[in-house]
Amino acid sequence: MKRFIIILILSFVTIQSQAQFLERSEFGVTVGVGNYFGDINPKYNFYKTNLMIGAIYRYNINPRWVLKASAMFGKVEAYDADFDNIRNLNFESKVNELALSCEFNFFDYQTGSRQHRITPYIFGGIGVFFFNPKTEITDPLSMEKQWVELQTLSTEGQGMPGYDSPYSLVNVAVPFGLGLKVSISKRVCIGMEWGIRMTFTDYLDDVSKDYVDRAELTSWSGDLGVAASDRTYEIIPNTYNQAGSMRGNPKVNDWYQFFGLTITTKLNYFKSKCNTF
């Protein structure tokens, strides 16, 4: 009899804990646009925005504090030609991000509540993102246009003797920003969010330091590497930048941002659906 009572109590606690977990948990999607700031786009604006989508999970600790896990997928790009810069570099890169952050609601909020159904919030956290800058260039040998991965071409001498190691295509980001969330039913929340990502790399665009010696770069990564490193000749024929002259600004790392809409639903919505069946 005692064993039965203990099992009954443990089962009740487990059910209650599960119910509380589902009641506080929300899962959903986010859709919007994103872009990057850096050497090729020095202006903090919405230049060259591209579609970004993602999935989010929220755990509401209490009406003010929320833990959030997110996965974001998108693309960033920029072109010197859009800024009349004769350096003439350009790039595009997919950006895939995984992040964990904390939200603070300015007002008490609970999805499904009529009294606490709307609040602005701020958030901050830590994440990791994956990128791989590419550019479209005319191959000096075949004279055909093709997309090439820039990191492997050592455009600033990365990996060559006497230069820095190749930059990693995986880096840390610090997401932070603000948003607004509104409860529109017992289980559904919609919102808007603007978030900026501070990164710890200056190579999201493959531009950071100085031009390297053309002969050294040719022997290391061939004519394609040289062509991708210095593209001023495409604007001014037979014009090339001297080794050691500034190609980018290494004092400021690259950033990217996201602005979009979110929609989440409480996980107990799916539980109630299953119970109905």
| Phi, psi for 273 (deg, rounded to 5) | -65, -45
Q: Are residues 148 and 160 in the same domain?
A: yes
Count of structural domains within the chain: 2
Q: Are residues 37 and 154 in the same domain?
A: no
Q: Are residues 140 and 192 in the same domain?
A: no
Q: By residue range, what is the domain housing residue 223?
A: 133-166+210-246
Q: For residue range 144-160, list pLDDT tens digits in order.
A: 888 999 999 999 999 99
Chain centroid to CA 155: 24
Which range, of 17-21, 31-35, 142-146, averages the lowest pLDDT? 17-21
| 14 within some domain | no
| 18 within some domain | no
Q: How far apart are the first and last CA of the chain?
A: 34
pTM: 0.86
Q: Are residues 87 and 139 in the same domain?
A: no
| Phi, psi for 132 (deg, rounded to 5) | -160, 90
Helix (H, G, I), strand (E, B) or coil at 272: helix
pLDDT at position 140: 74
Checking if the pLDDT of 273 tops 90, the result is no
> Which of 62, 52, 64, 59 lies closest to 25 in space, CA to CA?
59
123/113 Cα distance (integer angstroms): 22
pLDDT band at 141 (very low <50, low <70, confident <90, very high): confident
